Structure 1
Amino acid sequence: MKRLICLSSLFFCAFPVWAEVGDAMSIVTTLGSLVFVIAFILVLAFLLKKMRLPALGHQKDLMIIRQLPIGTKEKLLVVQAGEEQFLVGATSHSIQLISKLEQPLASGSQSVEHPFAGQLNRFLKKNDKI
């Protein structure tokens, strides 16, 4: 604590305008700012963890083609491994292979467009004509 007071007094000597505010107020604002920055970092870390951003490296051999949520934590996935596709059931506790697909589903740009993407494209094309 003595070191902190010595450092703060040395800091205030370098900036005499701030010395008028007082040591107690500056320590409170400094600690408040520190708590705010740490809380902000923790909130960002929590949000990034919840967003589950994909890995930076693209994996060409293994990818999820389609997914269908069944419940709050359960979903069906069509997973492509190499040239083969599999229907997989996933819960929060386990992943089960249901079957291998005989006829693979279309992937990538050949798949059906999402409704929001279609509306956005129509809106952008409409504004381009104006």
Structure 2
Amino acid sequence: MNQRYTRISATILAAVTGSLWPLNALADSGSGGAAGYLAQLIGGLVLVIGAIVVLGWVLRRTQGGLNRGSQAIEIVAARSVGTRERLVLVQVGNEQVLVGVAPSGIRTLHTMNEPVTAAVGETPDFSSALKRAVSRRSAPASERGNP
């Protein structure tokens, strides 16, 4: 009966994980102890990894659905002023607050009387800066202004 379960588990494992011919050969040869143990070990591993992937997907879907559309705090603009320091303009409701973010903590620097609007094209993104740098580098010297 143990050999029957070993063959069944080896066949199921081979169907799930692909063609594991050494495992099937061990199950057929009669040394069911090692093959059964290996089948149980790999089967359990596949089940645990599958459960992790499914739970990760479920958590991502449920947490993403809860936060959409209910953002009371919004970052309007951010500027790096040092290697680890930043200035961040945060909008909470109708009020805008300028805060300084550093490794030592976050401090309120100023509360805006009038809301500031950030221009759409004003903040350069990394991809456009990279394209400009590559196009400048690949352009011939005569086009860059060098004789």
TM-score normalised over the length of structure 1? 0.48
Which of these two proteins has the greater Rg computed from alpha carbons? 2
**Where is the helix percentage greater, Structure 1 or Structure 2?**
2
TM-score normalised over the length of structure 2? 0.44
